[in-house]
Amino acid sequence: MLHIINQSPMSSSTLDTCLNVATGGDILLIEDAIYAATAGNAYEAKIKEAMSRFKVYALMPDIEARGLADRVLEGVSTVGYDGFVDLVVANSNCQSWL
């Protein structure tokens, strides 16, 4: 399953809910959720722990739009829009966490 998260973990519990409920699959961080995939943020430890259970991706155009390309955590894979489509195709189900 592809878990798509678009809200910043600093202003929403969406990421926490996903990590507590989901049992596996891929996580794609888009829009403001990409802040969780950057070094030095409050969720860095949670993302590192999540990488033992999930493959974590972050949408590169959203990272670049926020000027954070040099702060992406090691182990988080970045994808463009074509990679987003590939993830949707590769996973039999998609869950957008709102």
Q: What is the pLDDT of residues 19-38, one digit of tens each?
A: 999 998 999 999 999 999 99
Say what percent of the chain tops pLDDT 90.
97
d(CA 84, CA 42): 25
Q: What is the CATH number of the domain that holds 16?
A: 3.40.1260.10
Residue 73 pLDDT grade (very low, low, confident, very high; cuts 50, 70, 90): very high
Work out the average pLDDT over 90-95. Answer: 96
Burial bucket for residue 52 (CB in 10 Å: 0-12, 13-18, 19+): exposed
pTM assigned to the model: 0.96
Q: Would you state the pLDDT for residue 98?
A: 87
* Domain interval for residue 8: 2-97
Please tell me the total count of domains within the chain: 1
